[in-house]
Amino acid sequence: MTRKLNAAAVQFHIEQGQVENNLQTVLSALERLRRHNVRLVVLPEMWSTGFDYRSLTQLAANTPELVDKLAGQAARLGMVVVGSLPESADGALYNSTYVLDGGRQVGRYRKLHLFSPMCEDRFFRAGNATLAVDTSVGRIGVAICYDLRFPELFRRLALDGADVICLSAQWPKPRQEPWRTLLKARAIENQVFMVATNCCGMQGNIDFFGMSMIVSPRGEVLAEGGEEPCEVLVELDREDLRAYREAIPAWHDRRPDVYGVLT
């Protein structure tokens, strides 16, 4: 585990259904981030396709090849890359985050909470497992968009040893304040770093506001994007995290004997 870690959120306008264009956007961003010695990169939710429901089954067929290409780039640049893609498996579609490290897929997480107001539950099957995984940059946890509203998931990831949690999202206007508030809350209550990437721009009639954020265990916004495409990056210091956990010993002072949950 590295004490200091340069982490980045790659915020961009996802072109709905345009897999190759979106891939080139990501590959170009990774090349730029290499100059800043970035080791951990988080991409938006469904970054290759957007929610192009009419073509999702066909588009999901591209995902294995995309994962291979991105893993090759991650290996060449010495990065861990995290991002959500449509996955076809078991006769169903999943909204799945892939964790790529050194040219290998070291983890895959299928979104637990499907957002019914945008019909996600009509097109995807929900996952049934959480993911905290060891990587070359330390142990990270993974969540996707609507998951942010369910604090139990983030406590589970923290209990499983994640000190950085990566969140890929497509979080639209006008819900900027819940986005900001919940990201800070998840960081504070679990004493973890949050690296959260949102997309930006219009998809159909939905306007995505960006505001990708990297938040400290103290709830400080270390870096934040605006509403335009950008790369948000900052250095995370795990020694600072350790010192803060000692100063505010919330983990030691927990009472799972009383709550009876997430022991």
* Amino acid found at 219: G
Q: Which residues contact 204 (CB under 8 A, 6 or more apart)?
A: 16
Give kind and range of the element (H or E) at residue 26.
helix 19-34
β-bridge mates for residue 105, sequence order:
100
Q: Which residues contact 154 (CB under 8 A, 6 or more apart)?
A: 141, 143, 165, 186, 189, 190, 192
The CA-atom distances, in angstroms, between 4 and each of 84, 108, 173 are 25, 25, 34
Catalytic, out of 45, 87, 224, 231: 45
- Helix, strand, coil percentages (3-state) for the chain, rounded to 5, are 35, 30, 30
Whole-number Å distance between alpha carbons of 200 and 44? 9
Catalytic, out of 111, 199, 230, 231: 111
User: In the annotation, is 20 catalytic?
Assistant: no
Helical spans, DSSP H, in 100-175: 120-123, 151-159
Tokens standing for residue 95: 């909204």
Whole-number Å distance between alpha carbons of 197 and 171? 9
Catalytic, out of 87, 120, 145, 224: 145
User: In the annotation, is 230 catalytic?
Assistant: no
Closest CA to 202 of 232, 229, 178: 229
User: In the annotation, is 184 catalytic?
Assistant: no
Residues with a catalytic annotation lie at: 45, 111, 145
